[in-house]
Chains A and B, each alone.
Chain A
Amino acid sequence: VNVERNAALADNAAGLKLTLYVAGQTPKSLAAIRNLEAICSEHLGADNYQIDVVDLREAPQLAREHNIVAIPTLVRQLPVPIQKIIGDLSDKQKVLVSLQLDQLP
């Protein structure tokens, strides 16, 4: 199942672009999707971020782009520098710090 989702692909997305790498519907993958959606809806406006969810079971070759080893992994592509968070994103505080969401405009 391709679970690619675009929460808000507007051109005016304010520069936060996230890619979540999952592997089908493993418990950790599903948990990571849930947790990320919760964090974004709580801390970000509806139209100032973009999330791509990439199912590596469907397209394993996409792992190379960001050198993904463990699943699930969340990659902050924008703003640079690229940041990775490995795991199911259940530690909300750690996610916020790692993505530096608090420093967004």
Chain B
Amino acid sequence: MSVDVAEAEELRRRLHEAEDTLRAIRDGEVDALVVRGPKADQIFHLGDNESYRAFMEAMELGAAALDEQSRLLYANSALCGLLGVTFEALQESGLVQAMGASAGGALAALVRDSAEARATAELALPARGGRRHVLVTAAPLSLGFSTGRALTFTDMTERIDAAAAEESQRVGRAILGSSADAVVVCDARGHITQANPAALGLLEGSPIGRDFDEVFDFAFTPGAGIVTPGDIVAVTLSGGSVRNVEATLPSARGSRDLLISTAPLRYAGGAIGGCIVTLLDLTDRKALEKRQSLLMRELDHRMKNMLTLVASISARTMATSAGLTDFKERFSQRLSALAATQDLLATRAWEDLLLEDLIRSEIAPFVPTASARVGLERLGVRVSREAAVALGLVFHELVTNAVKYGALSVEAGRVLVSATPRADGGLEVVWREEGGPPVEPLSRRGFGQTVISRGLGASAAEPTRMEYRPEGVVCTLTLAPSAVVGA
């Protein structure tokens, strides 16, 4: 058989072409073949390996394929990135081994369980930057003559972290809401992002989104070292803090005294993302302290006055006493009169007293005030504390004298006490006795008389008049307008 040169050349060319076609197929340089059909030619796509892999590479999920013996065939770059290793390193160590003992064991079990159907498990993987919570799904993967596994890895860490962050935010808001102190949170620009109910109570309208220094127009105590509200935020945003700085906040609801403390708001990693400002409202406490201090000073003053009064009563009672027994009796009675007035004052928190209550308390130890022997008229007038103490002593002396020598010493006698307002705003109080034994002018002036005539002191508008009329004693006391508090 002879082959001419041209034929040989053609055969060589076709052989070369056939060899080149096979080589191209073997080398993966082609991705489709033309297949002769009985009627028409068809285009047959070779395995979608490339597009499949390109698709896998584009996925954000980690993905891997294992053969029947769980050897790694493929892992996409998302999975390699998640594990922090190269594909080559992963192929060398094996996927299960690269995941450590705990997660690797769980993955091996998942691969076993997914021979027939899809299976899912949550694993904690050792990864760059700490452990990652990953949801792994394994499904059978048909590989020509065997069945491998297709694995996907969904990183749940951020979702879990976000859920935890949301939960902690919820807890934070609950703490803020329950705090009795005003708490305000600012962002890095000094804008208010959160304010609890106590903070809202200090302000008119919502402060959210507004500048801190615009909302809180504090006036600082001189020497606090802080000049403007903006200073507080600036100091805190630069990492410092403010502790117990006193300031007043003028507001439509009245000026408030506040104690300011701040702390930087640090995000994960330590970066300062804002500041937390706590405002302790001292207004009520300060008012209470002020009142307490005033009361203490007042009490001190009254105690001294009282001791002076007691010393004076003691000295004068001693001077006019017939003996020790007489002194003891009269001194005790005068102290009791003083105590009765103090009791009344104490029940009124040391303010003013109703004249009628005062007189009743002095008469009651001797005669029932509801009896016909005592007549009280127009005594529903309040007198000042100072006047009440003085009147208490004066009425004690009047009652004592009436019981010993006057109208109350006999059954038929009676005492009338009445009050009449004066043109100057003061009050005239008249003690009138009747039905008692005939009255004789005093032969000697005792302490009792001194108390009656001078006892009112500064509370008197005019000197007290004591008349010893034969039908009964009449005592006229006049109270200055300052001693009368009101009806």
Binding site for B on A (CB under 8 A): 23-24, 26-29, 56-57, 60-61, 63-64, 68-73, 81, 84, 86-88
Contact = CB atoms under 8 A, between A and B. Distances in A.
Closest 4 CB pairs of A and B: A87-B29, A23-B32, A71-B32, A86-B24
B214 interface: no
On chain B, which size bracket covers the interface? Answer: 20 to 34
Interface stretch (B38-46, B145-153, B464-472): B38-46
B27 to A, nearest CB: 8
Interface string B18-60: 0011001101011111100000111101000011001000000
Interface of B: 13, 17, 20-21, 24-25, 27, 29-34, 40-43, 45, 50-51, 54
Contacts of B31: 23, 26-29, 71
Main DSSP-derived SS at the B contact region: mixed
10 contacts: A23-B31, A28-B29, A28-B30, A28-B32, A56-B32, A68-B34, A69-B33, A70-B21, A71-B31, A84-B17
B54 A23 contact: no
Given A23-B43, A84-B20, A69 B34 contact: yes
B32 A29 contact: yes
Contacts, number: 68
Contact of A56 (B13, B24, B34, B54): B34
Given A26-B32, A60-B40, A81-B13, 13 more contacts: A23-B32, A23-B45, A26-B45, A28-B32, A57-B43, A60-B42, A61-B41, A63-B34, A68-B34, A69-B21, A70-B33, A72-B30, A86-B24
Contact of B30 (A61, A63, A70): A70
A22 B282 CA distance: 85
B195 to A, nearest CB: 59
A61 B213 CA distance: 81
Best-surrounded residue of B32, B42, B45 (most CB of chain A within 10 A): B32
Contacts of B13: 81
A73 B25 CA distance: 12
A33 to B, nearest CB: 13
Contacts of B50: 27-28
B29 A86 contact: yes
